[in-house]
Structure formats: C-alpha cells, structure tokens
C-alpha cells in the first residue's frame, strides 16, 4: 500500500512547488500588468522582457541581511511571517484542480484531499493568515506596524462574516461542503453558480480583495500612510514571506471563486453536447484559465482604484455586505425549500 | 456611558515619510487612528535663500528663485523679475509679457500635474500618478526646448526674457494644449466619478471662506472654500488683463472641492495659453535695461498667482549696492501649510496624507 502514501505525497510536493513558482512569477505578472495599465514597460532588464526578474528578486531577498529590531518581541517577530505563509499554502490541500488525469498510465485525482468539510476548512485556514499580520504589527514594537495590526484586525471582523454568509448560500445551493461536490452540483444544475448567485459572487470577490489585503483594501500595508505597514520592520526573506503569502492567498481566493462560482474544471456549458470539442482542453487547464482571469482582475483593480479608509471599509462591511449576505442567504434558503 | 481610559499615541510622521512630499515632519497625537493634535515641524530644507539673495547681484537672484518652488520655477522667476521691474518702474515689451504668461501657465499645468499625481498616489490611486507625469513630461520638453533646462529654468530676466521662443515652438505648445485637454477627462474618469475617491475626499478638511481668509490661505486652497481671489484677476500683472478666463471656485471647502478647482484650472490655463498664442505680438523681448542693475532706493511688494497661491516678494533697495538690502518672500506653500493642524483635527490618519496633498506644498518653498 505504498501508493496510498506516495501518491498524496507526490501531489503535495508538486502542488507546493507549483504554487511557489507561480507566486514568484505572479510578482512579475503584477508588475507587467500594472505597467501596461500605466503606459510604461515594467521590468525589462533581467532576461527577455524582464522574464527572469522574479529570480533576481528572490536571490536579492535571500542574500539580504535579516534584521530583527533590538526591542522587538523576537519569538513573535520570527513566528509572524510563518503564521502568514503556512495557511496560504495548506489552503491548497482542498482545491480541486481536476477530477482525474492520467500520468504514465495511472489515473490520479488532481486534488490532495476531498474532505467533506472542505469549504469550512478553507474558511478557517484562511482566517488564520491574518494573525500573521496582527502579530507582525504587534511584535515589531514600532508605531506604524502597530497601527497596521489594528487595521488588519478591524478589517478581519468586517469582511469575514460577510464572506461566510455568502459561502453558506453556496452550501445551501449545493447541499455539500465538499469542494468536488460543489462542482458536481453545478454540473447537475446545468449552470455556473455565478449566474444564480450574482450577489454572492460580487460580495465574495470584494471580501476576497479584503481577505488578501489587496487594493482597494490594502489598508494594513498602505505604503503612503503607514510607510509599508506591518512589514515596515521586516527585511530579507522574512519580508518576502509576507509577500509570498499575499500572492499565494490571491491564488487561493481566485481558485475558491473558480470552484464555487464558475464551475471549477468544467468547460463552459458542460451539458451542451455540440460544444463537445471543448473537451479536448483538459479540465485542469480550464481551472487554471479561470483562476488566471480572477487574478488578472485583482491586478486590474489594484491599478485602477484608490484606497478605502479603514472606517469606510468597516462601514461597507457592516452596513452593506453583512445585511446583503444575510438577505441573500434567507432568499436562497427560502427558494431552496420551496422548490 | 463610561469611556475607556486611553492614552494618546504620539506618532512622528516624517521627515522621512513617503507622503509628506519632501522633508515635512508632522508630529501627530493619535487616539486610535483619530488625530487629536498635530504639530507641523518645518525647516529641514532651509537653505537661507532670503539672506543669500541679499548677497547676490540682482540678475543672479533669478537663478536662486528657481530653487524655492522647484516644481514651478518659472513662476518664481516671474514674481521676482516683476518685483524688480516695479521697483525700477521698467516698462516690459508686450511680446515678453505674453511669453511670460505662456511660460507661467505651462508651469501651472506642470505643477498641477505633479500635485494631482502625488495627491492621488497618496490615496492609493497610482495609475493617475503616471498619467500625470506623462503630461508633465511634455511640459518639461517644451521648457527644455525653450531654455535648455527641465526643472530650474532661469527663464526670465529683469526687463524681459533671455531668449525669444524657438521657431515652431508655438505649434508644439498648441499641440500640447490639445493633448492635455484630451487627457484631463481621463484623470477625471479615474477620480472625479470614482465612488472611493469621492468618499475619501468629500467632507475631509473642511474650511469656510472666512476662516480661510483669516488663516491667510491663498490659491486653490482658498478658492476651494468659495473665495474668488486670484491675483491674476484682481491685480493683473504681466499680460493677464488682456485675456479672458474664469476663476473656478468651490463651495464646500473640502478636499474634493480643492481638487475640482485645480482640475478646472487645467482648462483655464489652456484657455489662457491659446489666447496668448493667438495674440502674440511681434517686437523686442527685452526692455532697455542698464548693464548694471541698481534700482533706486525704495521698497516694494509685488505678488503673482503661482500654482500654489499668492507668491509675493518684498524687496528693499538702498539704491547704492548691487544687491537688495532686504529680500523677503511670501511663499504660498508656507502660509497654506499653517492650515494643516486645523484641517486634520478629528480626522483619521489616512486623511492626514490626503490633506497634506490637498494643500499642495513644496518643501523647498516652505523652508526656503
């Protein structure tokens, strides 16, 4: 029974490496996309069209001196980047990239685990990540990071409830918490949930922006206000860990949105027979394509919108998103019971 | 309801902070993120320009004035040379006065571009920053073609101008006016109609007209509060009396209105430049000025409308030496900056950077 251990282990190794590599190249993508929006070129020097820039960045960050401020809380200061990074990575455990694919004659499922509480697991894991920011702000023993930590916690309580409400609506629709189950439910329902749950889709996306501390909700790291926010005192690889965590979180949120709302690995119109030619594109490629679109929108928004103030974010969360979420849940549940 | 026992947090913002536009230091007293007190500390860029000018001869001072508001050097030049001309009762040729207006208005556009870009950047809208710099670059190119410099122009002389405009330059200026007019709506699309931008700026740092006058505010900051004071209109200098233009004013006196006023000034500047180019007279570009300038004994104050507000020079000449006896500048940035503690009161820390941007300061001018 070696394969029952070997295959999941292999999958973990492959997914972790793929995530880390794509995260480093996402930094390049972000710089390029924003540069194009802003009528400039972006990185051009390292490699053709700057394509090796992430490698140069990684080498630079690894070689940098790793400074711990003299009056920082050393243990927490060391722990914080890890707390930020680890949840971002283990979130991928339940993301289903495809149902099955064959490698060297073996049929393997393209997800590490399809646990029956997959969605709940994701919600709990991703909310741990914010502790990394709060702890970093606290441990730095510096005023700007402290304010950033406060902002992060204020931000957490404003969007987390709204997101969860939305996810519950989806669970009510699908009747399962399993990520694979939700995709199957969309196949059986003959429609992506994006079209039946547009409110949930929009709010989850807004919540996802806040969750990943992306513009316009990048309050904890607001460079222009807090000089970098929670990672002001960090340097070298620890600083990089925060960034990797942010980008990994972006991939997680995009993948979750893909799974819940646009049918994961399903091709467009999976029940329409005459579009069968689209089946030649493997499911995992559909998944990656959809995820990529979401990530692109993340970057696009960052280039376009100014930043919210944190009291405005809280107002948005408490006065708009949460009531909408509750209303959406009630309507969904009522319709589900009636029909 | 009992209140929690809280302590204030004193936060030192600057002199090295990305949003203090140079070396401004703001000591904030915070309750949470709410500002309860604010001390502005200046002087990190003090170079003793006023004293320095009392030891340079009159023509050399033009070059020093470049270094005050270094993003609007031509306006500084203009204010200084006009003050000396007033002291000497010099009549400047019309052509020179027209070209001065064109330069000053191009300068206003460049300065406003820089202001808008950094102001938006402070609030996280980073694309506007690069769009604005794209247009500012065009103005700098025009200046480079005119006088060879891109930042500190040294572009005016007592009695006129050092150079006539190069051939074809007026066409390029016209082309630039067209480009700018097509680009300003682009900025507005990203900001004016943007819900987040409006939320961030409306009702922030409100100051009424009477208070603004009492604080000595000038320029767009004052006009944002609804006071239609513009030196170009009220006490026309150079050739401004020949041109038609409106003085945009706000109503609410908040950050959003100050923003709208400056956006409208883009259009008005373009309007003035076009009129000046249309009516550009032929003739000499410099008056008959003695080789060694020695204004008669006396004192005078003369103000112009720089992009940031009323830029005044007070100059005393003793009639004997080659340098001013007393040289004093009324810098708009400095006077407007004193409104900051008043404006930030009760706002959040994020608004502090918005308000610093909204006042539009250049530390080179504040500290001199």
Q: Could you tell me the domains of chain B? A: 57-367 (1.10.645.10)
Are the Cβ atoms of B19 and A224 closer than 8 angstroms?
yes
Residues of B in contact with A209 (CB under 8 A): none
The reply to whether residue A224 touches residue B121, judged by beta carbons under 8 angstroms, is yes
Q: Which two tokens stand for residue A273?
A: 């027979």
Average pLDDT rounded to a whole number, residues B30-54: 86
Q: Say what the pLDDT of residue B176 is.
A: 92
Beta carbons within 8 Å of B316's beta carbon, 6+ residues apart: B298, B299, B324, B325, B326, B327
Report chain B residues touching chain A, CB-CB < 8 A.
9, 11-12, 17-19, 30, 32-33, 120-127, 130-131, 134, 190-191, 194, 196-197, 199-200, 348-353
What pLDDT shows up at residue A245?
86
Cβ neighbours of A222 in B, within 8 Å:
124, 350
d(CA B132, CA A4): 59
- As a whole number, the mean pLDDT across chain B is 87
Q: Round to whole Å and give the CA distance between A146 and A164.
A: 27
Say yes or no for a CB contact (<8 Å) between A309 and B199: yes
Size of interface A-B (CB pairs under 8 A): 83
Burial zone of B216 (CB within 10 Å; 0-12 exposed, 13-18 middle, 19+ buried): middle
Q: What is the pLDDT of residue A320?
A: 87
* Predicted confidence band of residue B4 (pLDDT cuts 50, 70, 90): low
Q: Tokens standing for B81?
A: 């040379």
Q: What per-residue confidence (pLDDT) applies to A93? A: 82
Burial zone of B269 (CB within 10 Å; 0-12 exposed, 13-18 middle, 19+ buried): buried
* Residue A278 lies inside a defined structural domain of this protein: yes
Using CB atoms, pick whichever of A143, A307, A310 lies closest to residue B123: A307
Q: How far is A253 from chain B (nearest CA, A)?
A: 22
Q: With respect to residue A235, please indicate whether it lies within any of the assigned structural domains.
A: yes
Q: Kindly identify which residue of chain A lies nearest to residue B351, measuring between CA atoms.
A: A309
Q: Which of B124, B351, B352 sits opposite A306 (nearest CB)?
A: B124
Q: What pLDDT, on the 0 to 100 scale, is given for residue A223?
A: 65
Contact B19 A225 (CB under 8 A): yes
Can you tell me the distance from the alpha carbon of B143 to that of A296, in angstroms, rounded to the nearest whole number? Answer: 39
Kindly state the tokens that stand for A46: 């390292």
CB B14 within 8 A of CB B24: yes
Of B17, B33, B197, nearest to A306 by CB-CB distance is: B197
**pLDDT, position B3:** 65
Residue B275: alpha-carbon gap to chain centroid: 22
Q: How many helices (H) and strands (E) does chain B have?
A: 15, 6
Paired residues of B30 in beta bridges: B9, B35
Backbone angles phi, psi at B10, to 5 degrees: -90, 120
- Model-level ipTM above the cut of 0.85: no
Is A4 contained in some domain? no
Residue A67 falls inside a structural domain: yes
Chain B nearest C-alpha distance from A255 (Å): 26
How confident is residue A123, by pLDDT bands cut at 50, 70 and 90? confident
Answer yes or no: is A163 within a domain. yes
Q: With respect to residue A321, please indicate whether it lies within any of the assigned structural domains.
A: yes
Domain assignment present for residue A194? The answer is yes
Q: Which residues of B touch A224 (CB under 8 A)?
A: 18-19, 121-124, 353
Taking an 8 Å cut-off on Cβ atoms, the answer to whether B350 and A223 are in contact is: no
Mean pLDDT in chain A?
A: 82
* CA atoms of A251 and A204, how far apart (whole Å): 14
Query: Which structural domain range is residue A193 located in?
Result: 63-338
Mutation choice for A interface testing from B350, B354, B356 by most A CBs within 10 A = B350
N-terminal to C-terminal alpha carbon distance within chain B = 50
In a domain? residue A8: no
Give the closest residue to A227 by CA, choosing from B131, B12, B176, B336. Answer: B12
For chain A, the domain total comes to: 1
Residue A80: pLDDT band (50, 70, 90) is confident
The residues, any chain, with a CB within 8 Å of residue A188's CB and separated by 6 or more, are none
From A168-177, A190-199, B35-44, B247-256, the region with the lowest mean pLDDT: A190-199
């Amino acid at each position: 029974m070696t394969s029952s251990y070997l295959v999941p282990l292999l999958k973990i190794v492959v997914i972790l490496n793929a995530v880390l590599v794509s995260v480093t190249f996402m930094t390049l993508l972000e710089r390029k996309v924003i540069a194009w929006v802003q009528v400039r070129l972006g990185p051009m020097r390292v490699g053709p069209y700057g394509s090796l820039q992430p490698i140069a960045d990684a080498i630079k960050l690894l070689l940098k001196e790793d400074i711990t401020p003299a009056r920082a809380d050393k243990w927490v200061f060391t722990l914080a980047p890890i707390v930020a990074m680890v949840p971002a990575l283990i979130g991928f455990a339940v993301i289903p990239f495809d149902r099955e694919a064959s490698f060297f004659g073996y049929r393997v499922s393209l997800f590490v685990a399809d646990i029956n509480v997959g969605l709940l697991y994701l919600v709990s894991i991703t909310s741990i990540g914010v502790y990394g920011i709060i702890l970093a702000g606290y441990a730095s023993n510096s005023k700007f990071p402290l304010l950033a930590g406060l902002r992060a916690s204020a931000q957490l309580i404003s969007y987390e409830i709204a997101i969860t409400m939305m996810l519950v609506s989806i669970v009510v629709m699908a009747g399962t918490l399993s990520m694979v189950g939700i995709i199957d439910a969309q196949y059986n329902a003959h429609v992506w949930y994006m079209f039946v749950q547009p409110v949930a889709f929009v709010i989850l996306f807004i919540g996802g922006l806040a969750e990943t501390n992306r513009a316009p909700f990048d309050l904890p790291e607001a460079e222009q206000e807090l000089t970098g926010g929670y990672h002001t005192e960090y340097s070298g690889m620890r600083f990089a860990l925060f960034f990797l965590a942010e980008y990994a979180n972006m991939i997680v949120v995009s993948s979750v949105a893909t799974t819940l709302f646009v049918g994961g690995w399903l091709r467009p119109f999976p029940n329409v027979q005459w579009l069968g030619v689209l089946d030649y594109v493997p499911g995992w490629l559909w998944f990656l394509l959809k995820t990529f679109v979401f990530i692109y929108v993340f970057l696009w928004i960052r280039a376009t919108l100014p930043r919210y103030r944190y009291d405005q974010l809280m107002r948005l969360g408490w006065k708009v998103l949460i009531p909408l979420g509750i209303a959406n849940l009630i309507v969904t549940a009522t319709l589900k019971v009636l029909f | 309801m009992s209140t929690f026992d809280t302590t204030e947090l004193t936060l030192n913002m600057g002199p090295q902070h990305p949003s203090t536009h140079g070396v401004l230091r703001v000591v904030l007293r915070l309750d949470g993120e709410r500002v309860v007190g604010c001390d502005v500390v200046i002087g990190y860029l003090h170079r003793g320009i006023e004293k320095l000018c009392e030891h340079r001869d009159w023509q050399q001072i033009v070059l020093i004035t470049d270094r005050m508001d270094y993003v609007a050097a031509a306006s500084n030049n203009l204010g200084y040379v006009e003050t000396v001309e007033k002291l000497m009762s010099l009549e400047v040729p019309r052509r020179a006065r027209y070209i001065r207006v064109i330069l000053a208005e191009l300068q206003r556009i460049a300065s406003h571009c820089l202001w808008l870009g950094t102001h938006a950047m402070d609030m996280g809208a980073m694309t506007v920053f690069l769009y604005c710099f794209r247009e500012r670059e065009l103005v700098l190119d025009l200046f480079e073609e005119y006088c060879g410099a891109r930042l500190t122009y040294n572009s005016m002389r007592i009695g006129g101008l050092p150079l006539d405009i190069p051939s074809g330059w007026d066409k390029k200026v016209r082309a630039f006016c067209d480009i700018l007019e097509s680009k300003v709506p682009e900025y507005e699309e990203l900001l004016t109609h943007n819900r987040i931008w409006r939320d961030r700026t409306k009702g922030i740092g409100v100051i009424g007209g009477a208070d603004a006058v009492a604080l000595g505010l000038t320029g767009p900051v004052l006009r944002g509060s609804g006071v239609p004071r513009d030196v170009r209109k009220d006490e026309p200098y150079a050739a401004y009396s020949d041109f038609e233009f409106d003085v945009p004013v706000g109503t609410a006196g908040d950050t959003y209105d100050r923003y709208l006023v400056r956006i409208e000034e883009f259009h008005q500047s373009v309007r003035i430049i076009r009129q000046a180019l249309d009516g550009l007279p032929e003739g000499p570009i410099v008056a008959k000025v003695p080789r060694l300038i020695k204004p008669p004994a006396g004192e005078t104050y003369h103000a112009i409308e720089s992009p940031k507000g009323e830029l005044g020079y007070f100059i005393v000449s003793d009639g004997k030496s080659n340098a001013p006896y007393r040289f004093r500048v009324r810098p708009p940035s400095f006077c407007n900056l004193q409104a900051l503690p008043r404006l930030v009161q009760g706002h959040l820390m994020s608004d502090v950077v918005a308000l610093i941007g909204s006042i539009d300061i250049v530390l080179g001018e504040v500290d001199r």
